[in-house]
């Protein structure tokens, strides 16, 4: 299972507050051309929901969850910007 740091979870929760995301939308990770992409979507039956403070901040389908298994999503801050990064556990 993908693990989120508190910083990454807080960042994803903040993204849900942007005007383009309606209240019923969440962030979904999808894999396109071997890269992980974020997209606004609805939670679907069979999804794995990642919660932070009892609120869903991220959804993954089973295939994406398996692809990201064993990784940790963290937030890297550098020169006034923030970027979500994947790390192997133990990094």
pLDDT (average), residues 66-81: 92
**In whole numbers, what is the pLDDT of the chain averaged over residues?**
89
* CATH value at residue 40: 2.60.300.12
How many distinct structural domains can be found in the chain?
1
Q: In which band, very low, low, confident or very high, does the pLDDT at 89 lie, cut at 50, 70 and 90?
A: low
Task: Return d(Cα 20, Cα 33) in angstroms, integer.
Answer: 25
Q: Above pLDDT 70, what percent of the chain?
A: 91
pLDDT (average), residues 24-44: 91
| Closest CA relative to residue 39, chosen from 23, 49, 28 | 28
How high is the pLDDT of residue 7? 95
Find out whether 26 and 57 touch, Cβ atoms under 8 Å.
yes
pTM: 0.85
How high is the pLDDT of residue 15? 83
Domain enclosing residue 7, as ranges: 3-88
């Amino acid at each position: 299972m993908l693990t989120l740091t508190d910083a990454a979870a807080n960042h994803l929760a903040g993204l849900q507050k942007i005007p383009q995301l309606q209240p019923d939308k969440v962030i979904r990770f999808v894999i396109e051309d071997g890269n992980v992409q974020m997209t606004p979507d609805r939670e679907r039956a069979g999804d794995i929901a990642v919660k932070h403070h009892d609120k869903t901040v991220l959804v993954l389908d089973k295939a994406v969850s398996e692809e990201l298994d064993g990784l940790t999503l963290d937030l890297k801050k550098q020169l006034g910007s923030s970027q979500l990064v994947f790390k192997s556990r133990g990094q």
